[in-house]
Each structure stands twice: as structure tokens, then as C-alpha cells.
Amino acid sequence: MSDTNSLQARALDLALKAKAASRIVSAVSSGTRTQALLRLVGELESKAFAEELKAANDADVADARANGQTAALVDRLVLDAPRLTSLTKSVRDIAWQDDPIGEVVAEGAGPSGIKIKRVRAPLGTILMIYEARPNVTVDAAALCLRSGNAVLLRGGSEARRSNEVLVNALRRSLVHVGLPEDCVQLVPADRALLEPLLALEEHIDLCIPRGGQSLIRFIAEKSRIPVIKHYQGVCHLYVAGDADLPLAEKLLLNGKAQRPGVCNAVECVLVDASIANDAISGFAQSLSAAGVELRCDPRALPLAIEGVAHASEIPDDVLRAAGTKRAEKPGQAIAAVEADYGTEFLDYKLLVCVVDGIDAALTHIAKFGSKHTESICTKNDALADRFTREVDASCTLVNASSRFNDGAELGLGAEIGISTSKLHAYGPMGARELTCTRFVVRGAGQVRT
């Protein structure tokens, strides 16, 4: 058998197993799926599992560091005890969510007397393709199980060991309650296997890619399966002319420096020209103390340089209040280049721009934003309303950190990702977003004439 035929056969085997499993998991009771999720909670809380996961994750992280990966990417790989606790809580929350399957969305009657309902149903089989972030393995599988779907998980090779441990725990939990283990399968991190998988539109119902530009482009170009893109997060914070500057500073520090390697981190701050002289030097002072490099437009640069010079004067409690800490090496202020605009840094780097009012801010975001997350800091309700109405993003926030555009924070329990597509979901996708609606019609012998 040629290499191509072998890859096609492997891909088809994975898809057929998932499709068969999806028919079973979609038909079982909500209680059975709940018990599987609670069994997974027990697995995640066990001492033996924690030790196994720690060994695997430590090895993945050590390899990433040895390969020269950035600190932000290494942070995305880490699944330590506090993050495992948070992950376990997410699974428990998902287990006790209302079951979306069978939910009646609308009902009525036709002129003939037929009774019509629109009800939620599972999508079927979902192919999830993602990089780093081993917690996504569990979040995605738990949401698919809650919504009655089977899932093929294709994580990045950098998290291979961690993903194997997590998927084994998921499959044990399924078998324990009598569900097929193939409801959750780990696809080998072999890029050559992706193309034959992406051709199987008869067996896979949806593909969700979550990662960098090259991955998303590759999937969008090659897939014959419907794709919901979870694209890059070029997220902005607009600090309006009337903003409370200490509040804006806190939002900016939290949005940029708490976890710079995540998709809802702030990548650009737009400061209104009317307050730039007072605002930017103060922002630069605290951001520099947190280790953030500031890439500044011509009007922002001299103000940022002034602030960076005083970074050591920022009290530690200011940084702690924003969920971050003092860096060993302060960040510097440098002139921005063209490539910095519209860039998702995923690192301790931030574009700083001065804008002439709300119109200029909206124009900048329309040009460089990625429809992910956009924020404003203002005391003016009318200005906030205009911003939220005119900005095209999956989530807009007023006087709150961009980091809140997250499934758990928005009440979904977790997320399979943040969709930057508009069909069929926009924003964080929970269990309900992994369903479709279909018609169920009951009659009493009516025929159409």
C-alpha cells in the first residue's frame, strides 16, 4: 500500500469509528453523559492521575524550553496543579449544565394543523485541530460529550505526552458508564494525516481549527468539511478621553501581562490624544515593570520612553492588583514598524498608538482588528454604547479586561474555542454552540394538496 493510501485508510478508520460512536452518544440519556463527565472529574482529582500528568507535562515543557520556545508559548503548555484544579472545576460545571439536546427552541402549528417544533440536536462528529494548550483537550471533549457529539482531537506535537494522558482518562471515563471509548479519539500529530481527514465530509460534520495564521489558512484551503475558524486575537483597548486612568492602567496590565500568550490578551492600546500626555507615561511605567516591550507610534514613543525610565518606582501592589508581577528585566519602549500593526504578538509586546477620538479608534480597529475581542475604558455611557454597536468583534467589553472573553467567565463552563466566524457561532463556543436545530413535526394524517 502506498503512503498516500495508507494515510487515507488511517484517516477513514478514525472517522468511521467516531461516526459510529456519535450515533450512540447522541441517543443515550442526559444522565449517562453526566455520569461520564463526573467520572472524569474523579479521574482528574485522583493522586495517581495527577502524578502521571505531571510527569508527562514536565517532559513536554522541558522539550519546549530546550527547543527555544518563547516564555509565553511555554506558559501555554503548562498544566500545573492550580490549572488542573481549574480544569476539573470546568468539567464539573459542564456536567451539571442543562442538556442542550432536545431543547425546544420554537413551536407552533401550521395551517393544516400539523404541530411543529424546532429542537436542538448534536452536530455529529467534530474534528478539533489545535496547538499547545493541553487543557483544550479536556475542555473540547467535555463540551462535545455534553452536547452528544463525538470528537477527533488533533493536538500539537509539543503537548503530545500531556494529551495522551488526558485522552486516556477521558476514554476510561466513557467505558466506565458504558459508552464507546471512540467518542473521544486522539489523532496522531502527523501533518500528513490532516489532508485525508479534511476530505472526509461524508463522515465528519465540522472542523474547528484553533491556532496560528498558517494553521488556519491551511485548514481553510484544504478542508471539504465545514470550518468554524478560531482565528488570531488582535485585541485592542481604547482608552477614551474621559477614562479613569488608574482603572485603564489596571485593565491594560491585566489584559496584556497576566497571560500574554492567550488569544484574548490585549495586543494594542489606543490612547485618546486628549489624555495621551498624562496617560501614556503612566501606562509605560507599569507595563515596563511587568516586562512588556512597548512598540510605539511617533506620538506615543517619547511619552513611553519617559515612563519606562521610572519603571522601578511602580509599587508591587499595583502589579499584583492587576494579576501580574514585576519582571526580572523591565520592558523597553521602541518605535513601532509597519509589521507591528495588526499583529498577534502572544508575548510581552504591545503596540501603543495615539488616536484622535472615537472615530479614529474605530477606524483603526476596523483596519487591524481580527473580530475577536475589543474593549473600551470610558465613563460615558453614550460613547460606550456607540463603541459596542459599531465595533465588529465576537465580544466587546466596557470597563472590563479583555481576558473575560472566555467561555468559563461568560457562563459556558468552558469553551471549545472563540469563533471569529459568524456562521454558525460568533465568540466563545460552549455546548449549545455545538448543536444544530432541526424540525420535528407531528400530524394526524394530514396530506398536502
Rg of the chain, C-alpha, whole Å: 24
Mean pLDDT by 10 residues, the chain (449 residues): 85 98 98 98 97 98 94 91 96 96 97 97 97 93 98 96 98 98 95 94 96 87 93 95 97 96 95 97 97 98 96 94 94 97 95 98 97 97 98 97 95 91 91 97 95
pLDDT of residue 1: 61
Residues in the chain: 449
User: CB within 8 A of 385, min separation 6: which ones?
Assistant: none
Around Cβ 275, how many Cβ atoms within 10 Å?
17
Q: Where are the beta strands (DSSP E) in 201-338?
A: 206-210, 235-239, 266-272, 293-296, 333-335
Main-chain phi, psi angles of 100, to 5 degrees: -75, -20
- Look at residues 420, 358, 416 and name the one whose alpha carbon lies nearest to residue 389: 358
pTM of structure: 0.91
The tally of CA atoms less than 13 A away on the side-chain side of residue 398 is 13
CB 210 within 8 A of CB 136: yes
Burial 50-84 (b: 16+ CB within 10 A, else e): eebbbebbeebbebbeeeebeebbbbbbbbeeeeb
| Cell numbers linked to 386 | 456607540
Rounded Cα distance between 414 and 90, Å, is 6
The continuous run of DSSP H or E covering 126 comes out as: strand 125-130
